[in-house]
A and B are shown apart, each in its own frame.
Chain A
Amino acid sequence: MPPTGPGPTAEQPDAAEPRPTAEQLPAEADTGRRRFLTYLLAAPTLTIAARAGLDTVAPATARAAEAAPAAPAAAAPPAAPSQLLGLPGIPDIVDLGQALQVAGLPTAHLLVLEITTAGRAVLHLPRLEVGQGLTTTVAMMVAEELDARLSDVDVPLSDSRPDLLFNQLTGASNSVRTLYDPVRGAAAAARARLVTAAARRWSLPAETLRTADSAVTAPDGRRAGYGELAAEAATVVVPAVPATPKPPEQRRVIGRPTGRIDARDIVTGRAKYAGDLAVPGAVPTVVARPTTINGTLASLDASAARAMPGVLAVVTVPTGVAVLAETFDQALKARDALRTTWNPGPVAALSDPDIRGKLRAAHAPFLIPPLLTQYVDGEFDFAFVNHAPMEVLTAVADVRPNRAELWFAAQTPIVAQQTLAAELGLPQDAVTVHVVRGGGSFGRRLFYDAALEAARISRAAGRPVKLMWTRNDDMRHGRMRPASHHRVRATYGLGQVLSYEHRAATVMTDFGHGLGEALTAAGFQLSVAGLSLAQAFFLLSQSNPYNVGIPTQLLAEVPLKIPTGSWRSVYSGTVRVADEIMMDELARRLGQDPVAFRRARLREPAGRTVLDTVARAGSWGRAMPAGQAQGIGYHAENGGRAAYLVEIDATDPKQPRVTKAVIAADVGTVINPTGLEAQLTGALIDGISVILQAGNHIDRGAVREGSFGDFHYARQRHTPPVVEIHLLPPSGPPGGAGELGVPAASAAVANAYARATGTSPRSFPINF
Chain B
Amino acid sequence: MPSHTFVLNGRPVTVEAPDDMPLLWVLRDKLGVTGPKYGCGVGVCRACTSHLDGEEIQPCTVAVKDCADRRVTTIEGLADGDTLHPVQEAWLDCDVAQCGFCQPGQIMTAVALLRRNPAPTDADIDQIQNICRCGSYPRIREAIKRAAAMTAPGS
Q: Which of B40, B100, B130 contacts A715 (CB 8 A)?
A: B130
Establish whether residues A715 and B129, one from each chain, have CB atoms under 8 Å apart when the complex forms. yes
- Identify which of residues 1-54 in chain B touch chain A, using a CB-to-CB cut-off of 8 Å: 1, 17-18, 21-22, 25-26, 28-30, 32, 34-42, 44-45, 47
B138 within 8 A of A: yes
A240 within 8 A of B: no
Number of contacting residues on B, CB 8 A?
61
Establish whether residues A471 and B133, one from each chain, have CB atoms under 8 Å apart when the complex forms. no
Complex formed: what's the CA distance from A440 to B25 in Å?
Answer: 22
Q: Give a binary string over A304-328; 1 marks a CB under 8 Å from any B CB, 0 the rest.
A: 0000010000000000000000111
Of all chain B residues, the one with the shortest Cβ separation from A409 is: B99
Q: Which of A270, A284, A391, A709 contacts B29 (CB 8 A)?
A: A284
Report chain A residues within 8 Å CB of B36: 269
Chain A-chain B contacts (Cβ-Cβ < 8 Å), number: 185
Establish whether residues A263 and B91, one from each chain, have CB atoms under 8 Å apart when the complex forms. yes
Q: Which of A264, A275, A392 contacts B34 (CB 8 A)?
A: A275
Establish whether residues A682 and B40, one from each chain, have CB atoms under 8 Å apart when the complex forms. no
Of all chain B residues, the one with the shortest Cβ separation from A725 is: B138
Q: Which of B21, B34, B39, B128 contacts A390 (CB 8 A)?
A: B39
Establish whether residues B101 and A260, one from each chain, have CB atoms under 8 Å apart when the complex forms. no
A89 within 8 A of B: no
Complex formed: what's the CA distance from A120 to B137 in Å?
Answer: 34
Establish whether residues A267 and B84, one from each chain, have CB atoms under 8 Å apart when the complex forms. yes
Report chain A residues within 8 Å CB of B88: 267-268
B97 within 8 A of A: yes
Establish whether residues B100 and A131, one from each chain, have CB atoms under 8 Å apart when the complex forms. yes
A584 within 8 A of B: no
A638 within 8 A of B: no
Q: Give a binary string over A603-641; 1 marks a CB under 8 Å from any B CB, 0 the rest.
A: 000000000000000000000000000000000000000
Complex formed: what's the CA distance from A269 to B45 in Å?
Answer: 17
Establish whether residues B35 and A267, one from each chain, have CB atoms under 8 Å apart when the complex forms. no
Complex formed: what's the CA distance from A713 to B35 in Å?
Answer: 23
Complex formed: what's the CA distance from A441 to B19 in Å?
Answer: 35
Establish whether residues B97 and A260, one from each chain, have CB atoms under 8 Å apart when the complex forms. yes
Q: Which of A267, A271, A709 contacts B44 (CB 8 A)?
A: A709
Chain B nearest CB: distance from A691 CB in Å? 14
Complex formed: what's the CA distance from A212 to B138 in Å?
Answer: 36
Chain A nearest CB: distance from B119 CB in Å? 16
Establish whether residues B44 and A470, one from each chain, have CB atoms under 8 Å apart when the complex forms. no
Q: Which of B34, B45, B92, B98 contacts A267 (CB 8 A)?
A: B92
Establish whether residues A327 and B136, one from each chain, have CB atoms under 8 Å apart when the complex forms. no
Establish whether residues B99 and A439, one from each chain, have CB atoms under 8 Å apart when the complex forms. yes
B58 within 8 A of A: no
Complex formed: what's the CA distance from A709 to B39 in Å?
Answer: 12
- Identify which of residues 70-102 in chain B touch chain A, using a CB-to-CB cut-off of 8 Å: 74-76, 78-79, 84, 88, 91-92, 95-102
Q: Which of A131, A271, A332 contacts B134 (CB 8 A)?
A: A131
Of all chain B residues, the one with the shortest Cβ separation from A273 is: B101
A132 within 8 A of B: yes
Establish whether residues A268 and B84, one from each chain, have CB atoms under 8 Å apart when the complex forms. yes
B127 within 8 A of A: yes
Establish whether residues B137 and A391, one from each chain, have CB atoms under 8 Å apart when the complex forms. no
Establish whether residues A263 and B97, one from each chain, have CB atoms under 8 Å apart when the complex forms. yes
Establish whether residues B107 and A267, one from each chain, have CB atoms under 8 Å apart when the complex forms. yes
User: Interface range on chain A: under 10, 10 to 19, 20 to 34, or 35 or more?
Assistant: 35 or more
Complex formed: what's the CA distance from A22 to B48 in Å?
Answer: 51
Q: Which of B1, B18, B103, B141 contacts A721 (CB 8 A)?
A: B141
Question: Chain B's interface: helix, strand, loop or mixed, by majority?
Answer: loop
A390-B75 CB under 8 A given contacts A682-B134, A714-B137: no
A682-B136 CB under 8 A given contacts A275-B38, A391-B99: yes
Establish whether residues B29 and A268, one from each chain, have CB atoms under 8 Å apart when the complex forms. no
Establish whether residues B44 and A708, one from each chain, have CB atoms under 8 Å apart when the complex forms. yes
Establish whether residues B101 and A390, one from each chain, have CB atoms under 8 Å apart when the complex forms. yes
Complex formed: what's the CA distance from A683 to B98 in Å?
Answer: 12
Report chain B residues within 8 Å CB of A327: 17, 21, 25-26, 29-30
Of all chain B residues, the one with the shortest Cβ separation from A387 is: B133
Report chain B residues within 8 Å CB of A284: 29
Of all chain A residues, the one with the shortest Cβ separation from B18 is: A309
A388 within 8 A of B: yes
Report chain B residues within 8 Å CB of A272: 34
Complex formed: what's the CA distance from A327 to B18 in Å?
Answer: 11
Complex formed: what's the CA distance from A674 to B96 in Å?
Answer: 10
Q: Give a binary string over A279-306; 1 marks a CB under 8 Å from any B CB, 0 the rest.
A: 0000010000000000000000000000
A678 within 8 A of B: yes
B132 within 8 A of A: yes
A276 within 8 A of B: yes
A130-B39 CB under 8 A given contacts A268-B88, A717-B126: no
A232 within 8 A of B: no
Establish whether residues B136 and A439, one from each chain, have CB atoms under 8 Å apart when the complex forms. no
B131 within 8 A of A: yes
A422 within 8 A of B: no
Report chain A residues within 8 Å CB of B79: 268
- A interface residues, Cβ below 8 angstroms from B: 130-133, 259-260, 262-273, 275-276, 278, 284, 309, 326-329, 332, 388-392, 437-442, 468, 470-471, 674, 678, 681-686, 707-709, 713-717, 719-721, 723
Q: A390-B101, A716-B125 are in contact. List 16 more A-B contacts (CB 8 A).
A: A131-B97, A266-B100, A267-B88, A268-B35, A329-B18, A329-B22, A332-B41, A388-B133, A389-B101, A437-B99, A439-B37, A681-B138, A682-B135, A683-B135, A708-B131, A716-B140
Q: Can you list 13 A-B pairs with a CB-CB distance of less than 8 A?
A: A131-B101, A267-B107, A269-B104, A270-B35, A275-B38, A327-B17, A389-B133, A390-B39, A678-B139, A685-B135, A715-B129, A720-B138, A721-B141
- B interface residues, Cβ below 8 angstroms from A: 1, 17-18, 21-22, 25-26, 28-30, 32, 34-42, 44-45, 47, 74-76, 78-79, 84, 88, 91-92, 95-104, 107, 122, 125-141
List 6 tightest A-B contacts by C-beta distance, closest first.
A269-B35, A685-B135, A131-B99, A439-B101, A266-B100, A131-B98
